[in-house]
Amino acid sequence: MQFMLLFSRQGKLRLQKWYIAHPDKLKKKITRELVALVLSRKPKMCSFLEWKDLKIVYKRYASLYFCCAIEAEDNELLTLEVIHRYVELLDKYFGSVCELDIIFNFEKAYFMLDELLLGGEVQETSKKNVLKAIAAQDLLQEESEEPKSLLEEMGFVSGT
Amino acid sequence: MSDIIEKTFASLPKLFSDGLRGSPREKNSPPRKIILGRGFQSFLTNVNLCRSREEEKTVVAHELKQIKESLNRTDVSQETVCELLCRLVYCHLIGYDVSSGFIHMIKLAQQGTGLEKRIGYLASVLLLHPDHELLLLLMNTIQKDLQSTNILDNCVALSAVCHLVHSDAGLISMMLPLVQKKLQHPRELVRMKAACCIRRFIRIAPSYQGHLQDNIRKLLYDKDPGVMSIGVQIHLQLLKSGVQTVDTLTSDLCSILQQIMNGSLPSSFEYHGIPLPWLQIDILRVLAILGQGNKQNSESMYPLLRDFLVKINMRQQMAYALMYECIVTITKIVPHRGLLKEASVRVKKFVTSTAYVLKYIGVKALTALIEVSPESITDCQMTVVELLDDPDQAIQSKTVDLLYSMANETNVKVVCSKLIERLDNPAGNSSKSELIDRILTLTEKYSGDAVWGYDVVLLILREERGSLPAGLVDRVFSHLTKYLKLPTDKTPASDVVQNIVKKSVQGMFQENCCKELVKIASWILSECSFLLKNMPDDKLMSLLQRQFLRRSLDTPTRLWILSCATSLLCGGVVKPGTLKEALKAMRDALTASPTKAPDFTLQQRLAECERLCGSPLTFDLNTLQLNPHQCDFTLSFLDDFVCADLEGDSKPYMHRNWRIPAVKDPLFSGFGVKPGSESITSDSSEKLTKSASSEPKNVNLRLEGVSRVWGEEGFLLAGPGETHDTQAPEKQRELEKKRELAAALFSGIHGNNKFDEQGELEDPWSQEVPLALDSTSLDWRSFDVKVVPRLDNSAEDPPSGNMDSPSRLVDLSELEKPNVSVFTHDTVVSVDEHETGCPPQDHQSDQLDHQSAHPQCMMGQGTGGTHGLEYHSREPPPLGPNDFSQDEGQQAGNEWTSLYEGVDSSGQTPQDNSSENIHILESGAYDITGSDTGEESLYSQFTVTSDNEGSAGQTDYSS
């Protein structure tokens, strides 16, 4: 896998993870093009795209698009399952995950992704093990934080 | 001061939204740990509240300034730094420059502990380009953390290594010893991350495998399935670069795959009921490489692959991925007819599926399949034809790939015309160059008809295109050289060459063609100038002149035109006077045009041509008179050689007329000669047969439009024209057209008649060769025996496509086929849909039995036959009963909507029975808090496994 992007239906980037070294400028350009491309797809179309020499696999979960770029010889269906596994993990961790969870706790989402994928390839396929690893990290941070933050009570108005 | 402002800002949206909808998720959301404080949240809120880009810019700029100030303060706590860094990451995400904070990230990674360290690492990995100079500082920290006794520190450092290594070999050699040491770590998690690093190293620099052979071998036999799967991936990577480290790899992997399929690995690695799918796919990929061209290896895989196809449970999306990978493996290894047939049956299910995702994969699989067994496509001809017009670009382009790989001698023209159609399609601009390249390759590969090949080239170049493959002109030249022979011998130029020249002239008439076309055409005209004698030279010159004066042409192309004019002059086709006039016009136009700098190359060339017109060097081979005094017509200088040869055992020369007649009766030799051509030589015997066989007046008949009934071999079968006359009524024209296309496309692919004879309603999945092939009685030979008689049958049957006659004849015989297959498709599909819609009761209870007996038998039971291939796409979860419409005004609400509800049961389709749900819950319900008991228990999740298997675990995988 070359990179993974999460963006909202309004085209706002929520998470980006690059497994290849591109300068920031190029990353921005690729992101812009891909977001426009994926958003213009109709719901009835298939989730795979050929873009330059890459293949784009995307999937929409509620208001979030998960979009991965893979090499030509990779298995597209498998990538869909990786995305699904990631969503499952987020869901398990956050309770019932929503876009705001990812915005406000993006570092958690990144940690989770790092446990699932390392260097662009699947590392841990066992859901249980990933969650255990994350839980172990959480144990270390308990004390310094306020138990329940403003997020729980705060309504959030989207910017667009 | 700033704190007060932040607090006010933070409370605003709360008031606002509480008034509107209350707090949407205060109940039933589990307690979660939030690292980031209010400052971060209010910042996000502010940014999101911005109405315009400018407003956002000012907010972010203000924020960045504040962050920078507070980071530089000395009394700032690590927690605050954490939060500030998260803000930086967010600013970076929405596209701002945050380079001022880089040093603080690295400092935090170095000095922080636990979470702070992680955040420091995370920010560094996300924000720093791997070539950034500050990374050197981070390397120190990584090395220290790798040597730490804290497992979490080890893990985070290993992850960072994995991310930061991109191309730098120095970095790899620096980290390698430490990472290698971690491969022996007692904890699986650390071993796994270290293995991931090794995988990454080998991917970047395969040469390192020499140092790592021992480690790599050990990884493959690790007792933890997770580590082992990464070991398999490393081997896959190595095999791709042509290295095999373990000799017994094939049998080892086969036995591992067998164990997985039997469900003997821990259930925590199951994904929606399928054990270790990722590992299975990796093993299949390795097997594909191992079996490629290796008969022995392939034979040891056949029973396993067959078992795999049969046992796979086709009710999970993951199973489709597995199935696809298995099909690809089958096509890669040494082909086995039975397996290929099984695969083609499954591919057909993919292609005819209603889900786009599966269609796409199906076409891909079919493309792979067709390279080894072309007959497998006969089954889905009509589907493929329909896919060509699919609205989805992605599927279209895959179908084009398919067309390309199924081209053969017979259908290449139709395939090419389809590809050219695709070329004119405005969308998908990026791949046009590749497409043209493919068309050219096809015309070169199947070059039976040179004129057609040239036609295709002209068609491609008909209009100006931006993206042409490099070296196109040279390719066309080298291809055409085979046909254009100079008339050094007395034979007249063949029809082919005449046609090519004619088409070149026609091509030159186009005003907006590619410059490549001009180059090619002028090359041909100059090569075959002798054929243009009959053309009025002033017209020819004005044609060249007009092309020459086109604005869009560059200098090299114009030089081509000039050299064409020169050789026309030398060939005596153009009179010097005409050329001179044309040249003068060209020169005038050149000097008159307001270009910036005069083109000296062109002017020089024009001058040369003009000078040549003054003293034309006409060189005509036909009228060339040699000086008889300089020639030795008796060839006396050869006498010595001839004598020497005759003294050996060579035979003396004999005139053609004296030789023993060849196989063909000379009486009919004249029949091959086309009437009207002037090739009737002075040979008296030929003249005799000519006059005897045909009336003298017939010789001059023009026969172009008349179809030939008699050929050299006898009566020709009915031509294509007659069947086209008896066409179906008007209303069916559409379908008829598609069928014709299908027939044309699939001609030459010799179908297996077996398929067509089968009853239409029978499900091919259920009536295949013995499905009850259990793992204990794996004998591929017995399976092979069953296939052999079938082969014989098909050989005895008069194969419809086996005629060597030209394409049209084959078309006719194949026209019937699509009809049959169309109806089989339709009926099969509708039955499937019906059955998936309402699963029969007995089936359900059957499953229940299986469930209670053994949870693992899910794998074994579903052949998927009764459930058509329907990709139950996991649509986003329903937004709740009375949730928001798709209205844009409610976006805020939408964001609150649960992204994903009920993940555990999500993989299940609505019609799945309840027992399956229970099963999933049993195996998949984890309690995070329950397992939070402490660090020690966290990483010992496999104690059960290792206890059970104990020391046997090691031998288990290898046996």
Residue A16: list chain B partners with CB under 8 A. Answer: 93
If 0-12 CB within 10 Å is exposed, 13-18 middle and 19+ buried, where does residue B26 land? exposed
pLDDT at A57 over 90: yes
> Which of A28, A4, A42, A48 lies closest to B395 in space, CA to CA?
A48
Residue B34: list chain A partners with CB under 8 A. Answer: 104-105, 145-146, 148-149, 151
Residues 847 through 906 of chain B touching chain A, CB cutoff 8 Å: 874, 876-877, 879, 891-892, 894-901, 903, 906
Higher-pLDDT residue of B549 and B801 is B549
Residue A64: list chain B partners with CB under 8 A. Answer: 899
Higher-pLDDT residue of B139 and B711 is B139
For position B623, what pLDDT does the model report? 54
Least confident span in B133-137, B900-904, B954-958: B954-958
| Residue-wise DSSP of B360-372 | HHHHHHHHHHHHH
Alpha-carbon span B346 to B766, nearest angstrom: 11
> Which of B173, B286, B178 lies closest to B228 in space, CA to CA?
B286
Residue B129: list chain A partners with CB under 8 A. Answer: 21, 23-24
Q: Cβ of A154 under 8 Å from any chain B Cβ?
A: yes
Residue A78: list chain B partners with CB under 8 A. Answer: 277-278, 281, 321, 325
Give the one of A60, A90, A155 whose C-beta lies nearest to B21's C-beta: A155
- In sequence order, the β-bridge partners of residue A49 are A56
- Element (H or E) spanning B337, and its range? helix B337-351
pLDDT at B533 over 80: no
Best of B164, B899, B926, B940 to disrupt the A interface (most A CBs within 10 Å) is B899
Least Cα separation, residue A99 to chain B (angstroms): 6
Give A35's pLDDT tier (boundaries 50, 70, 90).
very high
pLDDT at B3 over 70: no
For position B712, what pLDDT does the model report? 53
Residue with tokens 């093990």: A129
> Tell me: the pLDDT tens digits for B211-224?
788 888 888 888 88
Looking at residues B810-818, what average pLDDT do you find? 36
Q: Cβ of A133 under 8 Å from any chain B Cβ?
A: yes
pLDDT at B937 over 70: no
Give B660's pLDDT tier (boundaries 50, 70, 90).
low
Least confident span in A14-23, B91-100, B616-625: B616-625
- Beta-carbon separation of B199 and A121 below 8 A: yes
Least confident span in A70-84, B56-70, B497-511, B853-867: B853-867
Least confident span in A48-57, B420-429, B578-587: B420-429
Looking at residues B378-383, what average pLDDT do you find? 76
> Tell me: the pLDDT tens digits for B712-742?
555 554 444 343 444 445 657 777 777 777 7
> Tell me: the pLDDT tens digits for B678-691?
433 344 444 444 44
Higher-pLDDT residue of B28 and B314 is B314
For position B576, what pLDDT does the model report? 78
Q: Cβ of A39 under 8 Å from any chain B Cβ?
A: no
Separation of first and last alpha carbons in chain B: 71
Give A83's pLDDT tier (boundaries 50, 70, 90).
very high
- Beta-carbon separation of A157 and B48 below 8 A: yes
For position A65, what pLDDT does the model report? 93
Least confident span in B9-18, B225-234, B352-361, B535-544: B9-18
Alpha-carbon span B417 to B616, nearest angstrom: 45
Residue A140: list chain B partners with CB under 8 A. Answer: 114-115, 152
Alpha-carbon span A36 to A31, nearest angstrom: 9
- Beta-carbon separation of B903 and A119 below 8 A: no
Residue B182: list chain A partners with CB under 8 A. Answer: none
Least Cα separation, residue B230 to chain A (angstroms): 7
Give the one of B16, B152, B874 whose C-beta lies nearest to A137's C-beta: B152
Higher-pLDDT residue of B709 and B951 is B709
Nearest CA in chain A to B113: A140
- Beta-carbon separation of A81 and B277 below 8 A: yes
pLDDT at A30 over 90: yes
For the record, the structure tokens of B765 come out as 């999945």
Residue A107: list chain B partners with CB under 8 A. Answer: 35-36, 86, 89, 118-119, 122
Decide: helix, strand or coil at residue A70.
Answer: strand
> Tell me: the pLDDT tens digits for B251-301?
888 888 888 888 888 777 888 888 888 888 999 999 998 888 888 888 888
Q: Which range is most confident: A150-154, B195-199, B401-405, B546-550?
A: B195-199
Give the one of A15, A16, A107 whose C-beta lies nearest to B86's C-beta: A107
pLDDT at A102 over 50: yes
Looking at residues A21-28, what average pLDDT do you find? 88
Residue A9: list chain B partners with CB under 8 A. Answer: 891, 894
Least Cα separation, residue A16 to chain B (angstroms): 7
Mean pLDDT for chain B?
67
Give A6's pLDDT tier (boundaries 50, 70, 90).
very high
Alpha-carbon span B694 to B673, nearest angstrom: 13
For position A84, what pLDDT does the model report? 92
Nearest CA in chain A to B25: A152
Contact B529, B567 (CB under 8 A): yes
Nearest CA in chain A to B48: A159
Least Cα separation, residue A36 to chain B (angstroms): 15
Nearest CA in chain A to B114: A140
Residue B199: list chain A partners with CB under 8 A. Answer: 119, 121
- Beta-carbon separation of B317 and A156 below 8 A: no
Q: Cβ of A40 under 8 Å from any chain B Cβ?
A: no
Best of B898, B929, B940 to disrupt the A interface (most A CBs within 10 Å) is B898
Alpha-carbon span B471 to B461, nearest angstrom: 14
Percent of chain B with pLDDT over 70: 61
- Beta-carbon separation of B17 and A96 below 8 A: no
For position A66, what pLDDT does the model report? 93
pLDDT at A67 over 90: yes
Q: Cβ of A72 under 8 Å from any chain B Cβ?
A: no
Least Cα separation, residue A86 to chain B (angstroms): 11
For the record, the structure tokens of A34 come out as 């891909």
Alpha-carbon span B399 to B397, nearest angstrom: 5
pLDDT at B707 over 90: no
Cα angle for residues A84, A86, A92 (degrees, 5° grid): 105
Could you tell me how many CB contacts below 8 A there are between chain A and chain B?
Answer: 314
For position B430, what pLDDT does the model report? 58
For the record, the structure tokens of A115 come out as 């446990």
Looking at residues B320-331, what average pLDDT do you find? 90
Residues 582 through 601 of chain B touching chain A, CB cutoff 8 Å: none
CA B132 to chain centre: 35
Looking at residues B223-247, what average pLDDT do you find? 85
For position B619, what pLDDT does the model report? 53
Query: In sequence order, which residues have a C-beta less than 8 Å from that of residue B429 and are 6 or more positions away?
Result: B467
- Beta-carbon separation of B900 and A15 below 8 A: no
Looking at residues B193-207, what average pLDDT do you find? 87
Alpha-carbon span B179 to B500, nearest angstrom: 66
> Tell me: the pLDDT tens digits for B749-798?
654 443 333 333 333 333 333 333 333 333 333 333 333 333 334 334 44
- Beta-carbon separation of B895 and A8 below 8 A: yes
For position B757, what pLDDT does the model report? 36
Residue with tokens 């491309």: A37
Note if the pTM is more than 0.80.
no
> Tell me: the pLDDT tens digits for B86-114?
888 888 888 888 888 888 888 888 888 77
Give the one of B126, B159, B899 whose C-beta lies nearest to A99's C-beta: B899
Least Cα separation, residue A54 to chain B (angstroms): 12
Nearest CA in chain A to B20: A155
Residue B163: list chain A partners with CB under 8 A. Answer: 19, 119
- Beta-carbon separation of B41 and A119 below 8 A: no
pLDDT at B857 over 70: no
Q: Cβ of A53 under 8 Å from any chain B Cβ?
A: no
The bridge status of strand B270-271 relative to strand A54-61 is unpaired
Q: Cβ of A70 under 8 Å from any chain B Cβ?
A: no
For position B600, what pLDDT does the model report? 80
Alpha-carbon span B21 to B701, nearest angstrom: 93
Handedness of CA A116, B893, A7, A74 (dihedral sign): positive
Q: Cβ of B20 under 8 Å from any chain A Cβ?
A: yes
CA B458 to chain centre: 27
pLDDT at B895 over 60: no
